[in-house]
Amino acid sequence: MEEVASRKDEFIQANSPDGGFLQSEKWRKFQKSFGRRTFHVEGENYWANIIEHTLPIVGKYFYIPRGPVASISNFQFPISNQIPKSNDLIKRNISEIIKLAKEDNIGWIRFDANNQEALEVISKAKLFPNQSSALKIKKAPHDMQPRELFAVDISKSAEGLLAEMKAKTRYNIKLAQKHGVKITTCHPERSGAEAQDLIGVDSSRSLSRQAAGLGMTDKYLDEFLRLVKITAKRDKIAPHPDEYYKKMFETIPPENIRLYIAEYENKIIAANIIVFYGKTGTYLHGASDNAYRNVMAPYLLQWQAMLDAKAEGCNFYDLGGVNIPKPGTQNPEPNGWKGITKFKTGFSTTAVPIKFPGSYDIVINPFRYNLYIILQSIKALF
């Protein structure tokens, strides 16, 4: 069983430009633990984990985060521009998902194609051989995941990584160290048997005792939740409920997730959640206090996570979403992305952002989908 799970993980990782954690069984089972129905469709050389969401009035829809996954390219950073060699893989995958959606009375299927070629193949797919027209696919009114990710190649030495950072980022890391900011890492306290029963052990991860850090305590988790609320209020965003983060640490195996805590003068002032999957470490969530921002704790948090990911055999560290405007254009969302993008891109002057087509919807029930679009338009006015 462990060998089969390992092969599935390897397939997802090899065919996902971001490393594939959102298509892993670990992520699907975490979503299930949070009360959402989940499904997965798999076959020879294709895979899709599906999360069911429910909205008021319009009902249910499927969401396939960063998928479906098919062996059309063995992704390395940056994304390959090859034309898919086996288009029927994606078509067969989508056909099975649509059948499942119809059986479950789903209004539409939202997916994140891994590249433009995969999107084009899906757009031309037909549910039945005698179907006269292609699927009804619409650009989603909003993207579920960032359309650009900033991933740093961490296979080089620590000195090499520092040398490729922007000067201000290097300075801020040293400044945090000079101020005496202390970084603590902790992971869920769970026995190996319990973790295997919940998810299945990830044989590709074997955390060293030093890198794994301390066991999770209520103190650290409560402090993280406090910082999440402060950050959400400051940035005017809606945070996940506390239970979401608690379930994350209860269900994702300890070897795949860590909480990083930054302390200054015995106060916890910033924290990050990092996941490790295959050859990629991913910055999943972060939060910080309004106080002591001058000690630059978030910079040291990311640097420590990069070093740990490197020590664990990762080749890439994914800092998450950015929005880099084209030369000569203005950032379309200066308040939401400008500061985030500046912070993340400071960690490498050579990394090339990974670009995705965005989220698209396969319309199953036109009436419900059109009603959803109308309601979204009304919501945008307020």
Q: Which residues of the chain carry a pLDDT beneath 50?
A: 1, 75-85, 191-201, 203-204, 206-212, 334
> Burial code of 282-304, b = ≥16 C-beta within 10 A, e = fewer?
bbbbbbbbeebeebbbbbbbbbb
pTM: 0.88
Write the secondary structure of the chain as one string of H (helix), E (strand) and C (coil). CHHHHHHHHHHHHHCCCCCCHHHCHHHHHHHHHCCCCEEEEEECCEEEEEEEEEECCCEEEEEECCCCEECCCCCCCCCCCCCCCCHHHHHHHHHHHHHHHHHCCCCEEEEECCCHHHHHHHHHCCCCCCCCCCCCEEECCCCCCCCEEEEEECCCCHHHHHHHCCHHHHHHHHHHHHCCCEEEEEECCCCHHHHHHHCCCCCCCCCCHHHHCEECCHHHHHHHHHHHHHHHHHHCCCCCCHHHHHHHHHHCCHHHEEEEEEEECCEEEEEEEEEEECCEEEEEEEEECCCCHHHCHHHHHHHHHHHHHHHCCCCEEEEEECCCCCCCCCCCCHHHHHHHHHHHHCCCCCCCCEECCCEEEEECCHHHHHHHHHHHHHHHCC
pLDDT recorded at residue 346: 98
Q: Which amino acid is at 118?
A: A
What is the spatial distance between Cα 72 and Cα 190, in angstroms, rounded to a whole number? 37
pLDDT recorded at residue 94: 85
pLDDT recorded at residue 296: 98
pLDDT recorded at residue 213: 53
pLDDT digits (tens, 9 = 90+) for 172-206: 999 999 999 999 999 877 544 343 444 444 544 54
Domains along the chain with CATH numbers: 2-144+358-380 (3.40.630.30), 148-354 (3.40.630.30)
